[in-house]
């Protein structure tokens, strides 16, 4: 019998090696993914159960509702603010640390040399020095609460460090935070004054104009025509300071030019409930996490809810059991640049009243990651720190610019904040306002007793007749020194007006009969006018109406200027697509809605028109110093339409040429971005909100910390403020918090905090309000224990 031999299959041993290797790689990859996931999950704070903490004197309960809002119940005020510090640090520690570092000029220590210029700037500006000057001004009780808050922050920080549970951002940046101090909270408060007080840059810009353009052109860009225009320009020309070199990089650190707010309050006769309604939506930078942190605080002396800056105790905007309040920025001229003349042989000596004096020179050590420390020298004259030389490495010049600022004084805003929280009527709230000095704010107020009120509150200088706040003034001449501050009882105030309506939107708040100078630069009037139009249209307003008004996107600037600009195009020879675009614009309903094509073309047209006016003559590096530019351009167009074009519009060829060429550019830009069919263009395809995380600038961390861009309604000049980067369309500034309070039911108030409460990327409340913010879907925060105590997230803090 023949044996049949079966042929064995050919073996390839290397295949087994490949499979083993691939399997190993997959296991390693999965391990890395699981490890990374656990690292990100690890710092999510404990929200239930109990914790023993050294520093408490009694038990504190913390309930978090479904939006992540902490409701803190304490048996005494020390424990209340200790627990607020602890809980806020649980959610926002990295943001808090970054905030104090930015304000203090300490970012280079953890980020590196790229932050050194910014640190030099803030060290020169002196926010932390101003906070140090303010510490002694606080009464003993208030300062003890600042200490309690700091102790609560440190209790969390110690636990997080000991247990390896610091937020992932610290581990990515490779450092641990240092202990929190009361001074850190005060410094953050000074930063908010900085963010809402900016007129020095306008003075610097107008000095540059005096040096580089004609007299007629310089005066055309003044926010108001000075009665002695040529005289003040002569002074500016006589002092040679290179503004572009001195301040070009500062535009990266300046407050956003469209930082503002809306607020209004209605008396009971204007509402459906018969009780006042109050609404507030401050416009600041939009980021992850939000600048605002919503909290409810309860102790035997206080029951208050609303929002606060992470790192600061109390509630700055909100309501308690009896009252509600909100703010917008007054924007007064609280800063002044001074020309300083330096002694030719002694660089630290300056002229004042015909005598030379020795300025204070301090050296601050700036730590820089992976490099030697940088010794930064700051010169402080009688008028304030020298700003024009903060980044100078050259020999000191004969002339420099110093700055005086109200917030450099010892001020006590956080004392006022804690007093707001305990106020129960207008008299007690007004008493609290006496402690609020910087920044100057438009406060609106309502109480259950039916009172509505308003006050523009804060330190506002009384200037000499020779100083109109438009340009730098001679620091060596005592004539130009401030004459004190507007007396508190003479600040603009309204109580129970006959109209039953009080509203502000950074608009002009006083007439020509007001005896003191406030500012030349107010916001464009469109937001305020729209608010007034809606409020006067009914006597049956509800909380829902107020929320709808906060989301209103009617564009009154377009109502005014689209007809003017279209008329200017009448003699122009348009291409087919330009005619289609013009027809589309004519039929647009003047609402800045994300699905509409009209807003895209209109804003491109206005942005392009502005660039065409100035780009050839004004360096783009100085645009951030150009205070009041939007209002000035509006006035230029109005004047030209009335047959009185100024020198800039004449230089551009007249209104018709300017309108035509900028329209062509706007159509071309829209076509490149969104195609050749104007009816298909969409504002929201360009105008989108991201809520950028500070580490998202480092790719690929943007995929971890940022959500996808969301199309959003509104613009710079609608009530729903959504200011954007003109090149990218990314919305960078707006109402990070919106609040509506019905005095009929202060137990249930309406809020939006975009993008959410938590700073932890895997938390349920990290980005849970992004779409709600876009769509205007408010949540109700209840101060009724029966409501919030039903939450499954109940953390008990116990004395150790």
Active site amino acids: 261
Picking from 84, 330, 80, the residue whose alpha carbon sits closest to that of residue 193 is 330
Contact indicator for 413, 435 with CB cutoff of 8 Å: yes
Number of Cβ atoms within 10 Å of the Cβ of 395? 6
Cα(410)–Cα(323) distance, rounded to whole angstroms?
28
Cβ neighbors of 511 (< 8 A, separation 6 or more) are none
Contact indicator for 772, 778 with CB cutoff of 8 Å: yes
Picking from 605, 566, 590, the residue whose alpha carbon sits closest to that of residue 718 is 590
333: annotated binding-site residue? yes
Picking from 143, 676, 198, the residue whose alpha carbon sits closest to that of residue 415 is 143
Cα angle for residues 619, 620, 624 (degrees, 5° grid): 115
CA dihedral (341, 344, 348, 350) positive or negative: negative
What does DSSP assign to residue 696? G
Contact indicator for 194, 255 with CB cutoff of 8 Å: yes
Cα(143)–Cα(109) distance, rounded to whole angstroms?
28
Q: 528 by DSSP, 3-state: which?
A: helix
- End-to-end CA, the chain: 93
Cα(224)–Cα(740) distance, rounded to whole angstroms?
36
What the block records as the tokens of 110 is 């953890």
Can you name the residues that pair with 707 across neighbouring β-strands?
Answer: none
What the block records as the tokens of 348 is 């630290």
Q: 244 by DSSP, 3-state: which?
A: helix
Cα(708)–Cα(691) distance, rounded to whole angstroms?
9
Can you name the residues that pair with 308 across neighbouring β-strands?
Answer: 293
Binding site for Ca(2+), residues?
333
């Amino acid at each position: 019998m023949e044996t049949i031999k079966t042929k064995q299959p050919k073996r390839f041993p290397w295949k087994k090696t490949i499979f083993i290797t691939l399997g190993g790689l997959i296991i390693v990859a999965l391990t890395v993914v699981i490890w990374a996931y656990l690292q990100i999950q690890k710092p999510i704070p404990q929200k239930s159960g109990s914790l023993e903490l050294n520093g408490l004197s009694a038990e504190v309960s913390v309930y978090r509702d479904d939006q992540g809002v902490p409701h803190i119940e304490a048996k005494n005020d020390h424990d209340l603010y200790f627990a607020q510090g602890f809980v806020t640090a649980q959610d926002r520690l990295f943001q808090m640390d970054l905030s104090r570092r930015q304000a203090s000029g300490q970012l280079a220590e953890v980020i590196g040399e790229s932050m050194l210029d910014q640190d030099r700037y803030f060290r020169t500006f002196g926010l932390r020095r101003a906070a140090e000057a303010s510490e002694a001004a606080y009464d003993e009780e208030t300062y003890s609460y600042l200490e309690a808050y700091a102790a609560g922050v440190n209790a969390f920080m110690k636990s997080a460090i000991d247990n390896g549970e610091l937020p992932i951002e610290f581990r990515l940046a490779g450092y641990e935070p240092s202990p929190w101090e009361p001074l850190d909270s005060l410094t953050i408060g000074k930063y908010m004054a900085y963010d809402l007080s900016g007129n020095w840059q306008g003075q610097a810009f107008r000095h540059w104009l005096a040096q580089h353009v004609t007299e007629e052109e310089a005066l055309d860009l003044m926010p108001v025509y000075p009665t002695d225009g040529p005289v003040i320009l002569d002074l500016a020309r006589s002092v040679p300071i290179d503004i572009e070199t001195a301040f070009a990089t500062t535009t990266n650190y300046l407050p956003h030019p469209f930082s503002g707010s809306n607020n209004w309050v209605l008396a009971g006769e204007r509402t459906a409930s018969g009780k006042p309604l109050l609404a507030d939506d401050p416009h600041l930078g939009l980021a992850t996490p939000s600048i605002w942190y919503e909290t409810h605080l309860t102790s035997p002396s206080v029951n208050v809810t609303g929002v606060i800056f992470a790192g600061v105790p109390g509630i700055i905007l909100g309501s308690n059991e009896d009252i509600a309040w909100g703010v917008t920025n007054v924007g007064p001229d609280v800063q002044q640049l001074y020309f300083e003349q330096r002694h030719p042989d002694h660089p630290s000596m300056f002229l004042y009243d015909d005598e030379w004096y020795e300025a204070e020179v301090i050296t601050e050590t700036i730590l820089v990651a992976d490099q030697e420390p940088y010794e930064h020298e700051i010169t402080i004259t009688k008028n304030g720190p020298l700003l024009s030389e903060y980044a100078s490495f050259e020999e000191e010049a004969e002339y420099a610019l110093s700055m005086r600022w109200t917030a450099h004084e010892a001020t006590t805003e956080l004392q006022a904040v804690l007093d707001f929280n305990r106020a129960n009527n207008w008299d007690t709230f007004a008493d609290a306002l006496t402690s609020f000095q910087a920044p100057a704010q438009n406060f609106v107020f309502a109480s259950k007793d039916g009172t509505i009120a308003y006050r523009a509150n804060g330190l506002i200088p009384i200037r000499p007749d020779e100083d109109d706040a438009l340009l730098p003034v001679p620091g060596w001449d005592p004539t130009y020194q401030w004459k004190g501050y507007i007396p508190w009882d003479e600040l603009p105030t309204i109580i129970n007006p006959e109209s039953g309506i009080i509203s502000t939107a950074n608009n002009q708040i006083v007439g020509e009969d007001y005896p003191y100078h406030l500012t030349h630069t107010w916001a464009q009037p469109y937001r305020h006018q729209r608010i007034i139009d809606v409020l006067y249209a009914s006597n049956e307003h509800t909380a829902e109406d107020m929320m709808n008004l906060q989301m209103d996107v009617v564009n009154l600037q377009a109502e005014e200027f689209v007809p003017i600009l279209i008329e200017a195009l009448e003699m122009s020879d348009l291409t087919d697509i330009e005619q289609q675009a013009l027809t589309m614009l004519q039929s647009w309903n003047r609402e800045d809605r994300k699905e509409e094509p009209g807003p895209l073309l209109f804003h491109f047209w206005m942005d392009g028109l502005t660039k065409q006016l100035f780009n050839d003559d004004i360096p783009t590096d100085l645009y951030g110093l150009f205070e009041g530019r939007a209002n000035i351009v509006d006035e230029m167009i109005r004047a030209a339409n009335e047959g009185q074009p100024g020198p800039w519009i004449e230089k551009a060829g007249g209104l018709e040429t300017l309108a035509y060429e900028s329209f062509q550019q706007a159509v071309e830009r829209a076509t490149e971005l969104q195609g050749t069919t104007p009816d298909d263009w969409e504002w929201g395809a360009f105008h989108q909100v991201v809520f950028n995380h500070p580490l998202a600038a480092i790719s690929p961390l943007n995929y971890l910390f940022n959500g996808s861009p969301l199309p959003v309604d509104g613009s710079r000049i609608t009530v729903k403020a959504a200011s954007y980067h003109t090149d990218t369309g990314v919305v960078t500034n707006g109402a990070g918090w919106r609040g509506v309070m019905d005095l009929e039911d202060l137990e249930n108030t309406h809020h939006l905090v975009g993008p959410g409460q938590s700073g932890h990327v895997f938390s349920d409340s990290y980005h849970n309000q992004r779409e709600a913010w876009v769509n205007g879907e408010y949540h109700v925060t209840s101060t009724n224990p029966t409501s919030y105590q039903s939450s499954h997230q109940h953390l008990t803090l116990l004395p150790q």
